Amino acid sequence: MRLLLASLLLISYASFAEHHNESPRAEIPPIVDNLPTLYHEFVEVIGIMTTDEIIAIIGQPVKKIDIKMQSSNNIIASTWYYHNINTDESGKYFPTTELDIVDGFVESVTFMNNINESNLIDGTQFDVKKGSDNIF
């Protein structure tokens, strides 16, 4: 009887293990595979993307400033700068686009007509809307 019980237990375990083998998951395609250059369209799309998705599409920023917690040295926010990626309605490129990132997502975008990021300069800033109703 014990042998029968042990055999059934082994068979059920093998069956359970085979049933629960993890199969490779298909990669979920990104929601966006390119970013619009027109500034107001760019603002509508950039808020739904993670920083990894942004880098995959437009590459690493030209300049990156990380804001860290003094106590833990953890990055709590970042400012990324890109050059010549966005246009106004006439098709003229803004020399600099600034992305302010908190918790892995863009919180605001500033389009600047001056390339020098180290100085305080005038620009047009847009808060990014969160949620799935941005583009659909």
**Between residues 67 and 20, the one the model is more confident about:** 67
111 within domain boundaries? yes
- pLDDT beyond 70 at 77: yes
Question: In whole angstroms, what is the distance from residue 46 CA to residue 58 CA?
Answer: 11
22 within domain boundaries? no
108 within domain boundaries? yes
> To the nearest whole number, what is the mean pLDDT of the chain?
79
Q: Which of 25-29, 58-62, 64-68 has the lowest mean pLDDT?
A: 25-29
Joined together, the tokens standing for residue 3 give 């042998």
46 within domain boundaries? yes
Question: In whole angstroms, what is the distance from residue 107 CA to residue 100 CA?
Answer: 6
CA 46 to chain centre: 8
**In this structure, what are the phi and psi dihedrals at residue 78, rounded to the nearest 5 degrees?**
-145, 155
3 within domain boundaries? no
Q: Whole domain around residue 84: which residue ranges?
A: 35-136
Residue 81's nearest CA partner among 58, 100, 60, 97 is 97
Domain count, the chain: 1
Q: What is the pTM of this model?
A: 0.67
